[in-house]
Amino acid sequence: MASRKLRFAVFGNVYQPKKSASIQTLLTCLAARHAEVFIEREFYTFLTARQQLPVGDVQVLDEKHLEADFVISMGGDGTFLRAASKVGSRQVPILGINMGRLGFLADVNAQEIERTISALYEGDYTVDTRSVIRVETDGKPLQGYDCALNDVAILKRDNASMISIHTTINGDYLTTYQADGLILSTPTGSTAYSLSNGGPIIVPGTHVFSLTAVAPHSLNVRPIVVSEDSEINLTVESRTHNFLVALDGRSENLPESTRLTLRKAPYRVKVIKRAGTRYFHTLREKMMWGADQRK
């Protein structure tokens, strides 16, 4: 692998101006290996115009024709999710370099950049494949990307009254959620919005989705885990006659007449993990399991 020139597509967080030293380290490492580097347009403008960083011999990324050996996400898990939405079904593996606190997707810290780039060239890494949820609408089509790596949330708008979400799984009626919303989460997203609403932690590689209500009216409503091969149909009733659907946090307004069908996408997202990375170690660090706060 090291004998040929590799191509990298770099996505970044434009809200972290104090992290420019890490960007410089990455670009220096890639330049030393004569890599082809493409930076997404907004991030390129941020680096060159606002930060006035010398980015060297790089090119602006054409996202419509994204072709690369690796995608690098410089930021947190949110930046990683955005990069994954741009990669889509292209099957380019994504490496997440975290510019702040430890993340589940962006789990390489700034001090490990040089070592991690070397590992990519040496083939000393693994690739996890993560399930993705696809949303189809019967009615108004979604304006943006129709897939989610983390979760799909059906939510009430603003301060409106709770909504009713009629839910069927594989044609069988499950229930009508009276709630502020409903989250359908992948294992990857189980430690995000779903978890904050009482959903289960699901280990990546477990081929299931979870359904978790947001502030349900009835306390006997509990999260449920279903096979990722399930087809989930949702219809919504709302006093405002519309609702929000959010895919990995990117929300759109839909009329209540819209019928949603959620199922596993026909592709998986490839996530690069350094050799020796352990999910449960990250879980303990992120969740501070076992930490005694009394000390």
Please identify every residue annotated as catalytic: 77
Cα–Cα distance between 270 and 293 in angstroms, integer? 36
Q: Give the number of other CB atoms < 10 A from CB of residue 161.
A: 11
**Where does residue 134 fall: left (phi above 0), alpha (psi -120 to 50 degrees), or beta otherwise?**
beta
Length of the chain: 295
Burial of 256 per CB tally in 10 Å (0-12, 13-18, 19+): middle
In SS3 terms, 158-176 reads as CCCCCEEEEEEECCEEEEE
Cα–Cα nearest to 185, from 207, 216, 153, 214: 153
* Start-end of H helices in the chain: 20-32, 41-45, 77-87, 113-122, 193-196, 279-287
Distance from the Cα of residue 124 to its chain's centroid: 24
Catalogue the E-assigned strands of the chain: 7-12, 36-39, 59-60, 70-75, 94-98, 108-109, 125-130, 133-138, 147-148, 151-155, 163-169, 172-179, 181-185, 208-214, 224-227, 232-237, 242-247, 250-255, 259-264, 269-274
